[in-house]
Amino acid sequence: MRQMKTIRSLDEFPDSLRGGAVAIGNFDGVHLGHARLVERLRTMAERVGGPAVVFTFDPPPTRLLRPDAAPEPLVRLERKVEILAELGLDAVVVYPTSKAFLEIEAHEFFDSVVRGRLSVRAMVEGPNFFFGHNRSGNIDVLRRFCEEAGMPFEAAEPVEIAGRIVSSSRIRSLVSTGRLDEARMMLGRPYRIRGVVVHGADRGARLGYPTANLGPVDTLLPGHGIYAARARAENTWYPAAVSLGPNPTFDEGGTKIEAHLIGFQGMIYEQPIEIDFLAHLREIKRFASVEALVDQIVRDVARTVEIVSLEVE
């Protein structure tokens, strides 16, 4: 795999990355639709004899324009860049978004950034692309700008799975309602969260099933439920039975993330772990007794081991 460069300032944009093909967008989740777009981008880059570059934003523009309505991201920035690298890009520009930048008119953005700072020779975009102040530029406007500049342009076709268009908003709906198997189909990989292990009530350990309790997570959380998952701790993946939500058996409300890493021995407080959700096992419910809860945990753990064993690395 080629070594991808990450650029965080256009002042650092090297000449070696100019004169290629560029795609601009949030790329939230880096789903199969994005993968197709990047595939077309690489083809276009070969056509014009230059690098394939993605231009994305940190933070996403909606965080500045509509902070109260901005959706929770599907992937943290570092992971987004990792996945884009796996798709074979030459570079990703992670542009530091500002309100002043978002006030640039569409034509000025095209002239000063696309043609000026990036020296783009071709562009590829998805069908729902908007740019410029008040989203005044759309895919048709961008196509016209490219034609006027004598620049090849392609609008990548959306990907459909089971009759539905793959999109970040669709995946967000699936994740938030616990339909992780459908979300995985659209992402092309399991949905992942990352958090730092914090101290809990140690109740799981007393029941014989110690859990890693995660602190705040900066991406969208799946809907409440019990899940079969795999978790990475200390650079090793383990099967993990995960409870996400309240604990009604012990009259505890709120949303808690508790992962029992099957086969793990050790202490990982204050360390980050990643969790890949593989299957929804059941809903959270109140049990009549601790014994009944433990009996169910035994079944959850056994089912988790079975599901993880079917995964192909």
- pLDDT for position 201: 75
Which 3 state secondary structure label does DSSP give 75?
coil
Question: What does the block give as tokens for 159?
Answer: 């990907």
| Residue closest to 130 by CA, chosen among 106, 152, 150 | 106
Please give the pLDDT value at position 312.
62
Cis ω before 61 (30° cut-off from 0): no
What does the angle CA 28 – CA 259 – CA 60 come to, to the nearest 5 degrees?
Answer: 15
Cα separation of 9 and 6, whole Å?
9
Structure tokens at 86: 């796996």
Distances (CA, A) of 50 to 17, 43, 158: 7, 10, 25
Query: Each residue of 228-254: pLDDT tens digit?
Result: 999 999 999 999 999 999 988 887 888
Strand, helix or coil at 218? coil
DSSP 24-65: ES--TT--HHHHHHHHHHHHHHHHHTS-EEEEEEES-HHHHH
Count how many residues are written for the chain: 313
Would you state the pLDDT for residue 230?
97
What pLDDT is attached to residue 76? 96
Query: How many CB atoms are closer than 10 A to CB 16?
Result: 12
Tokens at residue 64, please? 């500045």
The one-letter amino acid code at 300 reads D
Question: What are the pLDDT digits (tens) for 137-184?
Answer: 999 999 999 999 999 999 999 999 999 999 999 999 999 999 999 999
Q: Say which residue the tokens 């943290």 belong to.
A: 76
CB proximity list for 40: less than 8 A, separation 6 or greater: 124, 154, 156
Token readout for 304 is 């988790």
Strands (E), the chain: 5-7, 21-24, 52-58, 91-96, 122-125, 153-155, 160-161, 164-165, 191-198, 212-214, 225-233, 236-247, 252-261, 272-282
pLDDT given at position 113: 95
Per-residue pLDDT at 121:
97
Are 251 and 216 within 8 A, CB to CB?
Answer: no
Listed residue (17, 54, 59) closest to 37, CA to CA: 54
List, for the chain, all residue ranges whose pLDDT scores fall below the cut of 50. none
Give the chain's domains with CATH numbers: 5-161 (3.40.50.620), 191-309 (2.40.30.30)
